Each structure stands twice: as C-alpha cells, then as structure tokens.
Structure 1
Amino acid sequence: MHSDHREIPGSRAARKDEHVDLALDQRGAAARNEFDELDFVHQALGGVDADRIDLGVTIPFGAGARHDAGEWHWRTPFYVNGMTGGTERTTRINRELAIAARETGMPMACGSVSVALDDPDAARGFAVIRAENPDGFVMANVGVGRPAADAPRAVELLGADALQVHVNAVQETVMPEGSRDFSSWLSSVEQLAAASPVPVIVKEVGFGLSRATLRRLSDIGVRLADVSGRGGTDFLRIENARREAGEYAMLTGFGQSALASLLDAPADAPTLLASGGVRTPYDVVKALAAGARAVGVAGAFLEAVGPDGTGGGAERLIALVEDWKARTRAVYALLGATTRDELLATDLILRGRLREFCADRGVDLRGLASRSEAPRA
C-alpha cells in the first residue's frame, strides 16, 4: 500500500495487489492493541443529549510557501486513510471508497500515487477518486524521497485538497527491494512541503511519530502530521511475509502506538491526526480525547468494500459509516461531550504498555486522570 522505492512499474503494481491481500489477511478477529489500554473515568450523571452533538471537526493549518494559513471543516471526525491504487483491482477499490466518501461526507486519502507519476497508465486508479467525488475533500499521497516536483504533480492528478507525504523507514528496512539510506529524508520532506500548492500532512505508515520527530517537523515548517501508530495493518509483517526466510520477525512490535504518540506529543507539535489500529468508533473517540483532531481508518473500511471492491462495495461501507457516526455520537453523549474539543476535558486512565511508555516519557498521568477538574478557560 505504501513505499515509493523506485522499481519497475509493473512489479510495483503487482506489489500493491499483494499488499491488499496481506493486509486483509491481518483482519479477522480484532486483536488487542493499545487502544484497549486507555479507559475513561465514568461520570454517571455527566451525560448529554445526543441530539446536541456536533461530530464535525476543524483542522487548522499554517501557511506554506505556496498557500495561506487556514482551516478545514470536516463533517465527520474520521476519514478514509491512504490505502492503495494503480492497478485494475485497486481502481475498483478506490472507486467504491470514493463513492462511500461522497455519500457520507467523509474526507478520503489515496495510497501512494508514485506508481502513476512513473507510469501514466496507472493514473486512472487514482483519478477515479476525484471523478466519483468531485466536491469532496481528497488527499493525494507520495513517499518521502520523491523529487520535489512530484508534489504538485500528485496534487494535480487528484485535484487534491491536501498532500500526504508518508515516511516508512521500518517498512523500507524489511522490504526486499527497500531503501537503506534515510539520511536525506528530513530534507526531502522539507522540499516536498515547500513545493506543494496545498497543505502537507506528514504521516507514518504504522510505527508512530515521536516527540523529537514532531518537533523536527515543526522546525522545517510542517503544520500537519498523522502519527499513524503501531497496532493496525502491520507493514513490517507484510514485507517480512514477502521474504523467503522471514528474517525480520525480530522487529515485531517495533515503534509506538497512535495513542502513545499523541500523549507524548510536544505542545508545539503540528496539528495532529491519528491512525493505526482504529477498529471501532470507540477507538476514534479515544484518539480524539488523546489530542487528535481527526482519525484515519483503513483496514475496517477496506474490509467493508471487499478485496476487489465487490465484497460489499460502497453500499456496505456507507451503511458501516452511518453506523460509526451513530455510535460515535452515542459515546460522545455518554462522556458528556457535545464536540471534539469537549472530549479534551474527559479523565483518562492508562494501563499496561501504554502507561509504561507514558510514565517513562514523563507524561503527566495524574493530570490526564483529572482533566475534568482543571479550571475551564
């Protein structure tokens, strides 16, 4: 689904189809992850009327070299995160995802468009997103290390409102055809962001963004980041399955979860989005309460449309999204929050590996557990 290491376009396209199968193989019974290690303190008389709840979110972003500062307003607090594109099979998947995004008001990102930038025959697998959703919020996607000139090309291909730049050092390390030279990546991100005519969202692909990384991104002018943590589709496992000996299983569990990344983030971090291991609307609410402005979902939505876009297609995903909206609203009401911002006053209890990580990193656990008692601004 990700990685922009240069190779023969045909082999890269085959790899995209292989990634879909390997990602779906990881679905099935929802495995536990660190979303299960965050609890809310229940306030039995603190609930609100669900009819008062506004699920919309505001995503502020700073000025770039080629765009002014501003903010986006999304109707849903979750969105279709970047997955795939570039083959006949993944074109069908993207079409169904785009139709569902159009009908439900969700933003949508695509998978890496690099295959289309190198091979124009693959462009239809991405352009279909804008064709099916002409007025929706669409994010293009390129990988770090691409030439800066590819930023405007990727944006033009989809008529995109934003550009995801993905960083995937762990995946590249395990990928048989992957890169091993990451020394120029920070400079590459800076150049891609400067060249983009729309705001850039730097995102991991499932291993988290640390406090230091978020500060480095802020220092080079990046104003939006998706922490994309461990716990969902595991690209280490996917790439290791493509190796005959599976010798990189030794890295299993590497990286940080989305919640760990959010709670560890510095005050001067870019505006944060979150993804990685989001299985249910309850996980969405937990990520929002931990500091995300919106939450990306991939595996659950891919499973809904099916492995080639015909398993349930857009119709099934539309029904799922409407169900997610209803259940998200129900959890908001239970927690006494009418907006995403009010979730930041809920009391959070951390357990297990998540608590250990946050304690070691100096996160104020007592403060998180008593946020509702803090004076209101």
Structure 2
Amino acid sequence: MSADRQGPSQASRRKDEHIELASSQSPAAANDFDDVELVHHALDGVNAERVCLDTSIDGWRWPVPLFINGMTGGSAGSERINRALAVAAREHGMPVASGSVGVALDDPETARTFRVLRDENPDGIVIANLGAGRSADEALRAIELLEADALQVHLNAVQETVMPEGARDFSGWAPLIEAIVAASPVPVFVKEVGFGLSRRTLHRLRDLGVRVADVAGRGGTDFARIENDRRDTGDFAYLAGYGQSAVECLLEGRGVLPALLASGGVRTPLDAVRALALGADAVGVAGVFLRAAMQSETRAVQVIGAWRTQLAQLLAMLGAETVAELASHDVLVRGRVREFCELRGIDPTRRRAPDAPSAR
C-alpha cells in the first residue's frame, strides 16, 4: 500500500514517527554545498538596505527566494509544528508548503492539522503537497482544502521502496502527473523528497507539462534512513546517502525547465546563496526550520526571520542588489561535485547571464 493511502491511525502514527526520526538526524557536517566556492571580491559590497529579495518563479513574483518546504501534517504533534511554521511564514512573508495532504483526503478528521497553515497565514503563499500516485480529482481537493496558491507533487520511489507499507508499483505516476497539471487551476511544482531529479527526469517532467521543479537532493533529511529505522530488520541501511545532491542536480538541470527550485541539505543562508548562484530561483528549507518549530512558535519566528535577514546581508556582501545578480557572481566548483560534472559531461563554469529570462 502506498504511504499516501493508509488507514487513519496507521498514517497518523507514521507521521509522528517521521517527525521524531527526522528531527533526530543531525545536519551533515559536510555536503556538496561545501564544493561550491563563491569568490570573494572585497570591494564589491553594496548597501544591505538596497537589496531586493524578490524572485520570479516562472513569472510569479515571490517576496523572498526562500520557502518553508513540505514537512508534516496528520497528527496532533504535526498540527503544533504547522501552526508554528504558519505563524513564522506570516511574520516574514515566506511561502510555506504542507506535508502530504493525502492523509487528510483519506481521513478528514486530520484536515485541521494541514488547514492551520492557511488559517494562521490567510494572506500568505501556501503550497499544498500530494504524492505522485494521487489522481487529478484528489489534487483539486488538496488545493481546495488549503486554498492553496500552488500544488507540490512529490516523487518518493526510494522512500516507498524502503517503507515497510510502501508502494511497489510506480508505473502510473507519469500519466497521473500529466493529468494533475492539466486539471490544476494553480501552478504545479514537482519535487523529489531528497534523492534528486536528474536531467532525464526533468526532461520527462517538462514533456508532461510541468514548468517548475524542486530538485530536492541528497544531503538533508534522509528518508531512506528514516524508513529503514522503521523496519524490524533494518535491511535497507545500504541506501543511506543514495541519490544526487541539489548542487549536482542544479548543474545538470540548467536550461530544462522555466524554473528550478533547490532543497535538500540547505544548512545555512550561505548554502541558500550558493544554490541561487547556481541558478535556483528559490531555495527550500525543511530540517532547520522543523527543529525550530518543534521548540516553539517564538523560536520558529526567530530562526526564519534570521535567515531572511542574513540572506539580504550576504547578497550585499557579495555585491548583489537583486537575486538575479547572483547568477553572474564568480563561482568555483570543486571536489566530488566537479568529478560528477566531468562524468556527466557538464561544464561547471557555465551559468546563465544575470539579465537572462527565467527560462535559462
């Protein structure tokens, strides 16, 4: 049975297990973002008060190039977390995505644990999340539940494979995505859950009508590890660390879709700047914000506000008054990522011009 289609009590327990296991995963001390070096030009700095953080997602203007990525919902504990995230999103004008709304579609009693994202953030950008195995009708219900400004469809074949109760047939995902894109009244984003989107996958998504993708790469919360920890035998331990990083996916995916978002392993505002310099139009953060939201609403507001403030300060330090100007900053790609580029035939020095349209 797909994780997105379980009995109410089973799904609620699984959500709480995911929160516990995800929050216990320590942020990686090193990941592929460390192979991306922004060349420091000591006299290029500008006034931080002049920095504009607006970004364009396939022609849709966002007030900040950061978003709170899809995490949870479906249990009492997750409702408290979503409330804290919604309050922080409201206070700082940051888009926020829900966890998979499939739980609420199957068990309407849990709908409030997702709906809180809109109730506490009535005028903000709220993105509903749903698994790729769901139908267009279910996608419309998810959008309606949150009065969502966009829909995030997640691909999680690795997670489902390791999950004891997960799906084993992924052959119908592509036509379902195509139907969702055709039926949706709001933009549809497709994302991985931490194993990356290859260039071939991005081409396939483009052919299905998808215009925005979150590469969601390796290096952050590892759902293979989470699901393996839920198994009695723990026999999928060898899949820990599987997949491509967000950095690798951004370098490989340039030019395929109108907009690429990046998440997975984003530990600091500097990592977010690195992703933006590599061509991401916005950057999603989950683990850091989850741990803050688990502490309190106040802590979530503080942490998320600090990220927004520091992002503007880093742009000023680098001499970029706009997010688009980061695309022209000198970047060096080293180590394992450079080897990946060599093996995949990618020129790591080639980036879009600063004034190029978002289609890249």
Counterpart CA distance in 2 for 1:192 and 1:99 is: 29
Q: 1:77 is aligned with what amino acid?
A: P
CA–CA distance in structure 2, aligned partners of residues 266 and 98 of structure 1: 32
Q: Which structure 1 residue ranges, 4+ long, deviate > 6 Å from structure 2?
A: 374-377
**8 Å contact kept, 1:227–1:275:** yes
Task: Give the structure-2-normalised TM-score.
Answer: 0.95
- Alpha-carbon distance between aligned partners in 2 of 1:375 and 1:34, rounded to the nearest angstrom: 24
Which residue does 2:336 correspond to in 1?
A: 353
Q: 2:129 aligns with which of 107, 129, 141?
A: 141
After superposition, what is the alpha-carbon deviation per residue over 1:268-308, rounded to whole angstroms, capped at 9, x for unaligned?
A: 324111111111100110111111111111110111121xx
Contact 1:56 1:75 in 2 (8 A): yes
* Mapped pair 1:126 → 2:114: yes
Q: Indicate which of 324, 333, 348 corresponds to 2:316.
A: 333
Deviation at 1:100, TM superposition (A): 0.9
Separation in 2, partners of 1:141, 1:117: 12
The residue number in structure 2 matching 1:304 is 292
Structure 1: how far apart are the matches of 2:234 and 2:354?
A: 53
Cα separation, 2, equivalents of 1:367 and 1:7: 45
Report the AA paired with residue 7 of structure 1: Q
With over 3 angstroms needed to count, the CA separation of the structure-2 counterparts of 1:131 and 1:344, relative to structure 1, is same
State percent identity of aligned pairs.
58
Q: CA deviation at 1:212?
A: 0.6
Indicate the residue corresponding to 1:257 in structure 2.
245
Say whether residues 1:295 and 2:278 are aligned partners.
no
Deviations 1:197-238 (A, max 9, x none): 211000100000000111111111101111100000000000
Distance in 2 between residues matched to 1:343 and 1:362, nearest whole Å: 24
Question: Structure 1 residue 45: deviation in Å?
Answer: 2.1
Structure 1: where are the runs of 5+ without partners? 61-70
Q: Residue 333 of structure 1: CA displacement?
A: 1.5
Contact 1:82–1:109 (CA under 8 A) maintained in structure 2: yes
| Structure 1 vs Structure 2 CA RMSD | 1.6
Structure 1 residue 42, shift from structure 2 partner? 1.6
For residue 65 of structure 1, what is the aligned residue in structure 2?
A: none
Which of 323, 332, 350 is the equivalent residue of 2:306? 323
The structure-2 alpha-carbon separation of the partners of 1:322 and 1:375, relative to structure 1 and needing over 3 Å to count, comes to closer
Q: TM-score, normalised by structure 1?
A: 0.91
Aligned partner of 1:64 in structure 2 is none
Q: 1:15 — aligned with what?
A: 14
Asked if residue 40 in structure 1 is aligned to residue 43 in structure 2, the reply is no
Distance 1:241 1:365, change over 3 A: same
Which moved further from structure 2: 313-322 or 92-101? Answer: 313-322
C-alpha separation in 2, matches of 1:258 and 1:90 = 26
- C-alpha distance in 1 between matches for 2:139 and 2:293: 29
The 1:354–1:91 alpha-carbon spacing in structure 2 relative to 1, beyond 3 Å, is same
The one-letter code of the counterpart of 1:258 is A
State how far apart, in whole Å, the 2-side matches of 1:42 and 1:113 are: 43
Q: 1:305 to 1:266 in 2, by over 3 A?
A: closer
8 Å contact from structure 1 (residues 79, 295) kept in 2: yes
